[in-house]
């Protein structure tokens, strides 16, 4: 039986993973499930999967979780440290499906115990790619991509030599506002930004798809995970979301990965790797698809993509700055404090402010430094929002 844990089990990715595991529950020994405020879902899944431990991120919800699991024999805990402790329990496979930089420390803890870390949490690599991959090497652990584009690149690279790779192309649907007039973007509402044309995902990543902050994070994730130069990474807008990524080789070949927009493919690939097993995803009928369109993204519409290039050029801790400033800008947008297009302005201000402070982004890449940088970047993002409002 494979021992597995799921961090962020109550979210969109977590629920898709549980769907796969529940179909073949006898093959798994579920050790830990973690979640947030949705105690009912967490408790129900912990019982259904026979988990040993259930953890909520929120300390003030511990009693609710305890009540919900009364008499079940399932251990309960709460808080960020409890999530890190859960990630450190020995298992074969850990899925990191927490949203945001909160996923970093638990992911590192999972690698320290030698588990295979299936990484949906792209923020982990954006904030501390080199540190995470080094931790994996030191502990004979492995990181497998779950983000659909990165899973696609990973699959296109099976059996290939990285020296033969010329370019990596990841696709983007273009999000909710792909066809909107540019001048309307400033007044786009949270509800409008929260609906995705093709994928059904958590609210934060859906809004990040409309702004392409999600793609910006993924470009950085591509660089960190595959070690390719920034100049080798391209983004194409592909409204159908069928081709997830392509790898171009030195002989001119372009290997593409196609599939329906269903995260259970990428999760299942990481779950069964290096084997391929049956997965309950729709089979594509290419004859039915009338067309697959591709175009270059307009950087005026998606300034986040330009910021990602700046971040890769700066290096060091700038990925952590970028992500933290983006998370806070998104919080402020969701709370109605800033407009949709102001998010990129705020992130850009915070990056510039770090640039002006000698040495801050070039401090050594340790977990402590990443967390301190994350904290400061959030504070500066808040200050940038207040300045704009004032
Ligand atoms: P979601 O919001 O649906 O779920 C997030 C999960 O993390 C929930 O279980 C929530 O309780 C938990 N969580 C939230 N804040 C937390 C905190 N501070 N500490 C600990 N746990 C916390 O998000 P999602 O859409 O499932 O995305 C999860 C991650 O996967 C993100 O990094 C996202 O970018 C990435 N991802 C998602 C998709 C997708 O299809 N949803 C695709 C590719 C990558
Ligand atoms: Mg993706």
Question: pLDDT by residue (tens digit) across 202-247?
Answer: 999 999 999 999 999 999 999 999 999 999 999 999 999 999 999 9
CATH of 315-389, one of 1.10.1740.10, 1.20.1240.10, 3.40.47.10, 2.30.30.30: 1.10.1740.10
Compute φ and ψ for 14, nearest 5 degrees: -55, -45
Is 151 touching ligand 1 by the criterion CB < 6 Å? no
Is 33 touching ligand 1 by the criterion CB < 6 Å? no
**pLDDT (0 to 100) of residue 64:** 98
Long-range contacts of 64-73 (CB under 8 A, 24+ apart): 64/39, 65/39, 68/39, 68/40, 68/42, 68/43, 69/43, 72/46, 72/47
Q: What percent of the chain has pLDDT over 70?
A: 99
Question: pLDDT by residue (tens digit) across 129-156?
Answer: 999 999 999 999 999 999 999 999 999 9
Q: Going by CA atoms, what residue is nearest to atom 27 of ligand 1?
A: 99
CATH of 2-145, one of 3.30.1510.10, 3.30.465.10, 3.30.70.890, 3.40.50.720: 3.40.50.720
Contact 196, 209 (CB under 8 A): yes
Q: What is the DSSP string of 178-243?
A: TTS-GGGGGG--HHHHT--SS----HHHHHHHHHTHHHHHHHHHHHHHH---GGGEEEEE-TT--E
Angle at the Cα of 203 (from 199 to 209), degrees rounded to 5?
Answer: 55
Is 239 touching ligand 1 by the criterion CB < 6 Å? no
Is 122 touching ligand 1 by the criterion CB < 6 Å? yes
Taking residues 29-33, report their average pLDDT: 99
**pLDDT (0 to 100) of residue 387:** 85
Which strands form 93-96's sheet, in the order they lie side by side? 75-78, 53-56, 28-35, 2-7, 93-96, 116-119, 142-145
Taking residues 340-360, report their average pLDDT: 95
Contact 213, 348 (CB under 8 A): no
**pLDDT (0 to 100) of residue 390:** 63
CA distance 209 to 206: 5
Please name which of 83, 121, 91 lies closest in space to residue 29, comparing C-alpha atoms. 91
Contact 188, 340 (CB under 8 A): yes
Domain boundaries, the chain: 2-145, 150-289, 315-389
The torsion angle over the Cα atoms of residues 78, 79, 84 and 87, rounded to 10 degrees, is: 30
Query: Which numbered atom of ligand 1 lies nearest the CA of 120?
Result: 30
Quote the tokens at residue 329.
């800008």
- Is residue 362 very low, low, confident or very high in pLDDT (cuts 50, 70, 90)? very high
Confirm whether pTM is higher than 0.75.
yes
What's the gap in Å between 14 CA and the centre of ligand 1?
8
Is 10 touching ligand 1 by the criterion CB < 6 Å? yes
CA distance 221 to 211: 17
Among the residues of 36-103, which ranges form H helices? Answer: 39-49, 62-68, 80-87
Q: Going by CA atoms, what residue is nearest to atom 41 of ligand 1?
A: 201
* SS3 of residue 124 by DSSP: helix
Q: Do domains 2-145 and 315-389 have the same CATH topology?
A: no
Please name which of 235, 253, 252 lies closest in space to residue 244, comparing C-alpha atoms. 235
CA distance 256 to 253: 10
What's the gap in Å between 365 CA and the centre of ligand 1?
24
Is 4 touching ligand 1 by the criterion CB < 6 Å? no
- Ligand with the closest atom to the CA of 201: 1
- Is residue 388 very low, low, confident or very high in pLDDT (cuts 50, 70, 90)? confident
């Amino acid at each position: 039986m494979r021992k597995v844990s799921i961090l962020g089990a109550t979210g969109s990715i977590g629920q898709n993973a549980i769907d796969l595991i529940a179909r073949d529950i006898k093959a798994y020994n579920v050790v830990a499930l973690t979640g947030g405020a949705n105690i009912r879902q967490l408790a129900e899944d912990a019982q259904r999967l026979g988990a040993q431990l259930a953890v909520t991120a929120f300390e003030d919800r511990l009693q609710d979780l305890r009540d919900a699991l009364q008499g079940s024999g399932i251990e309960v805990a709460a808080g960020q440290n409890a999530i890190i402790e859960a990630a450190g329990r020995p298992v074969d496979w850990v899925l990191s499906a927490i949203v945001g930089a909160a996923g970093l420390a638990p992911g590192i803890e999972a690698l320290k115990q030698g588990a295979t870390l299936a990484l949906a949490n792209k923020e982990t690599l954006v904030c501390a790619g080199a540190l995470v991959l080094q931790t994996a090497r030191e502990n004979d652990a492995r990181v497998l991509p779950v983000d659909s584009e990165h899973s696609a690149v990973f699959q296109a690279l099976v059996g290939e030599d990285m020296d033969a790779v010329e370019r990596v192309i990841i696709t983007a649907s273009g999000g909710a506002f792909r066809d909107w007039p540019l001048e309307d973007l400033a007044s786009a509402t949270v509800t409008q930004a929260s609906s995705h044309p093709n994928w059904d995902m958590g609210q934060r990543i859906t809004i990040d798809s409309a702004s392409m902050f999600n793609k910006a994070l993924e470009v950085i994730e591509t660089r960190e995970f595959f070690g390719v130069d920034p100049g080798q990474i391209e983004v194409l807008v592909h409204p159908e979301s069928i081709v997830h990524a392509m790898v171009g080789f030195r002989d001119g070949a372009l290997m593409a990965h196609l599939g329906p927009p269903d995260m259970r493919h990428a999760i299942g690939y990481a779950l069964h790797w290096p084997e391929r097993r049956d997965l309950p995803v729709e089979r594509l009928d290419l004859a039915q698809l009338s067309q697959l369109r591709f175009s270059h993204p307009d950087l005026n519409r998606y300034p986040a993509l330009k910021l990602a290039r700046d971040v890769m050029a700066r290096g060091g801790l700038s990925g952590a700055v970028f992500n933290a400033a983006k998370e806070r800008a998104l919080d402020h947008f969701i709370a109605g404090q800033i407009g949709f297009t102001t998010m990129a302005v705020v992130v850009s201000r915070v990056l510039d402010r770090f640039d002006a402070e000698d040495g801050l982004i070039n401090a050594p890449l340790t977990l402590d430094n990443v967390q301190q940088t994350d904290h400061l970047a959030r504070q500066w993002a808040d200050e940038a929002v207040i300045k704009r409002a004032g």
